[in-house]
Chains A and B, each alone.
Chain A
Amino acid sequence: MNGYAGTILRVDLTNGKLKEDKLDPSFARQYIGGVGFVVRMYLDELAGKTDIDPLGPDNPFVLMTGPLTGQKLDGAARWVCGSRSPLTGVWADCNVGGFFGAYLKFAGYDGIVITGASRTPVLLRIEEGTARLEDASRYWGMDTYETSDALAEESRGGGRGKDRVFTIGPAGENLVRFASIVNDKGHLAGRAGLGAVWGAKKLKAITAFGSGKPDIAHPERLSALKGELKEAYESSIYIDAIHSFGTATYMDVGVIGGDIPMKNWKLSEWEGFDDLGPLVYEEKLLAGRKTCYGCSVACKREAEVLQGPYAFPKGPGPEYETLASFGTLCLNRDIEAVGKANDLCNRYGMDTISLGATVAFSMECFEAGFLSLEDTGGIDLSWGNADALVKLVDQTGKREGFGRRLAEGSLRLSGELGEETRQFLTTVKGLEAPMHDPRCYHSFALAYATSSRGACHTQSPVFPVESGGLYFPDIPGLAGESEGMDSHGKAALVALCQDFGAFFTGSAVFCNLGASPVTALQAVEAVNAVTGFDYTLDEVIQLGRRIWYLQRSLSCVFGASGADDALPARLLSPLEEGPSAGSVPDMELMLKEYYTLRDFDPQGRPSPEVLKELGLSDVISLIQP
């Protein structure tokens, strides 16, 4: 089956049984891959059950590659996994890079549907068309680096390459609500706590190795497209920048427009910022460069600190989001401490955005007197205290001391500390906002509010389109210029980004960063050349629209309503200084236009008419009373 391995693996952890299903070509054409497969299969697996515990055996976990995963094509190594989030309670899907997806496909599987829960720790080994569950007791308690090294080492020999490992660390085992799942140490299913879903299922790891390559329908067309893209990549300044400095380069670019949140979103300018930029990164942390399968962009950094209180050995370095969440957000100007906190998060398997935001929230509560030294076990949570930051990361991964409370996320912590602390929250649907400020790009505000998984900058390409990293001149609604600090016209922009994005970054599955030079038509041609399908651009936007409505519906199934399509007060408070001083997104205007465009009822549910029109009639009874 061109572009696909042709087989879906089903694993029931409760009874230990494995089963293989053939991938239906008509299903593949309708749902493309990646998040399209994930949401449709998850919904089918629910079989009408809506009242499920995210940490219970009834919560399925689905992991799917896309038609391009495993192709040697820049910015196309990615894949997607999803489940009900233990942090937010609503739908969560995560888009992941690295090598695991490619090798899963080479092993003969497009994806895995995992149900049930094991009573004892298990790991799933996948190799050359076979899969088996094994006891994982000896790995339980290991961090993600130790687990990856141990499993990769075991697989060496016989002249073949090492297994690719997707694993949880102690944070997942300890059910930290924002625990991640980690692929090859530095590529994470980062947000919304999918690592805790595995921890609850006692699933420690999945390994993948294979040597089969999916067939390509039109190799000559794919080759011609690669030639066309080569020139675009070579002349792309954006690619040059992220290749040279990684995502840390955004520290220099983002600050110009006021996009980098500081001091728990109370500032967008701070003199300590200079100590966290790409130059200092290069001087104090940089130890090498890495990439994802088949991608020449190589935007990933390796970092190390050889001595001092924040020493850590060479490993995946912090991305922009981490530099901001553990740096500017907490007014911590010590980049070595950021590197150490990042290293601990990778090892324990934790989301640096949610944890950084929860620490910043705690620092503000400490300053305002809602937390005391007694509460924190003697840790001084003053702004910029790097020692405290690193200590709290360690405690959280282990669920020890004050870290036990941080492990619940900022929304639950605020619930414990009292109503007055809600003013310091930065969550949407319970998910802490990423490091991009909606006060300087109003479209982000609407994208955060309406994302099915909560405040998120990657679930749709609104962020890269509005901030300039992605440009689609062949989609009229995305080709024009947009004024960032203006709320007019943003509803249509966001809806179109979400629809096209459900194809482009969601299902195809292109990278928001590494695929920057790829136009919409080139993206469609890549998928057609590989699969042999005959998609048009209009059709993939329509298919993306249907996938997006499925994501939305899943969150409605899990209780999200119109009231949850809202930003916290902190993100709507005007800044007094900086490039976006005085700017506040007009949420009422944008949501009104957006609800009309999306055909939502006041409770935020898609109307039966729009679901019927999209061929999703089966979803109506799940979300309508």
Chain B
Amino acid sequence: MGLFKDAETFDTMLGGFFLRVAETPEVADKLLDSKLTIRFIYSDPEVVLFIDCSGDRVEVRSGDTDTKAEVEMTMSADIAHKFWFGKVNLTAALTRGQMKAKGPVPKILKLLPAIKPTYTMYPAYLEEKGYGEYNIY
């Protein structure tokens, strides 16, 4: 049993955070430069979030399993949650199979420095939106 009781909570919480990131120019501009489309497939609970950076603004779509994505990342909701605190060793998670990726992974790695500011945004967002119980780090 993971940290999250139901899909709705995780979907709203992380989806909302992605929308916050999409509205943060410091990060969003670099995401748009990449023109990537990424599908995050989460388990325990099962949630799908689609991030579309191919247009002139970053779009976040919940449950989009149809649109073709350049990259697909698969992981548990707990690992995803830990990642946005900056607490996941990405190389180890990928090597150990805790995260799986399909597509041009180097393009994802290139985004890592760009998303670094989000690690401090995430706990602040959780507190602000009433998800303080999940602010575990």
Asked if A469 is at the interface of the complex by the 8 Å CB criterion, the answer is yes
Interface assignment of A272: CB less than 8 Å from any CB of chain B: no
Q: Which of A240, A255, A278, A467 contacts B116 (CB 8 A)?
A: A255
| Distance of A481 Cα from B96 Cα, bound (Å) | 10
A interface, CB within 8 angstroms of B: 236-238, 240-241, 244-245, 249, 252-253, 255-257, 273-274, 277-279, 467-471, 473, 481, 484, 516, 579
Q: Measured between alpha carbons, how far is A257 from B86 in the docked complex, in Å?
A: 8
B92 touches A241 (CB 8 A): no
Is the CB–CB distance between A277 and B113 below 8 Å? Answer: yes
Q: Is B106 an interface residue (CB 8 A)?
A: yes
- Shortest CB-to-CB span from B117 to chain A, Å, is 11
Q: Is the CB of A273 within 8 A of B113?
A: yes
A468 CB to nearest B CB, Å:
3
Quick one: given A237-B101, A238-B91, A484-B89, are A471 and B96 in contact (CB under 8 Å)?
yes
Q: Is B109 an interface residue (CB 8 A)?
A: yes
Q: Are A471 and B95 in touch, CB under 8 angstroms?
A: yes
- Is B90 at the interface (CB under 8 A from chain A)? yes
Known: A237-B101, A579-B86. A249 touches B94 (CB 8 A): no
In B86-119, the 8 Å CB interface with A consists of 86, 89-96, 101, 104-106, 109-110, 112-113, 116
Inter-chain CA distance A481–B92, complex, in Å, is 9
Interface residues of B (CB under 8 A from A): 86, 89-96, 101, 104-106, 109-110, 112-113, 116
- Nearest 9 A/B pairs, CB to CB: A468-B92, A468-B91, A244-B106, A237-B94, A471-B95, A237-B105, A252-B112, A468-B89, A252-B109
Contacting pair B92 A252 (CB below 8 A): no
**Considering residues A237, A240, A470, A579, which has the most beta carbons from chain B within 10 angstroms of its beta carbon?**
A237
Interface centre among B105, B106, B116 (most CB of A within 10 A): B106
A256 near B112 (CB under 8 angstroms)?
Answer: yes
Chain B residues contacting A273 (CB-CB under 8 Å) are 113
Q: Are A253 and B109 in contact (CB under 8 A)?
A: yes
CB distance from A472 to the nearest CB of B (A): 10
Which of B86, B91, B106, B113 has the most CB atoms of chain A within a 10 A radius of its CB?
Answer: B91
Contact B106 A238 (CB under 8 A): no
A535–B18 CA distance with the chains assembled, in angstroms: 51
Q: Is the CB of B95 within 8 A of A469?
A: yes
Q: Give the docked Cα–Cα distance between A252 and B104 (Å).
A: 15
Given contacts A252-B110, A516-B95, contact A468 B90 (CB under 8 A): yes
Q: Which of A238, A244, A255, A471 contacts B113 (CB 8 A)?
A: A255
Given contacts A244-B106, A471-B96, 8 further A-B contacts (CB under 8 A): A238-B95, A241-B109, A277-B113, A278-B106, A468-B92, A468-B94, A473-B96, A484-B89
Task: Give the docked Cα–Cα distance between A237 and B92 (Å).
Answer: 11
A-B contact pairs, 20 of them (CB 8 A): A237-B105, A240-B106, A241-B106, A244-B104, A253-B91, A253-B109, A256-B90, A256-B112, A277-B110, A279-B110, A467-B91, A468-B89, A468-B92, A468-B95, A471-B92, A471-B96, A473-B96, A481-B92, A484-B89, A516-B95
Residues of A within 8 A of B93 (CB): 468
A236 to B91, CA, bound (A): 11
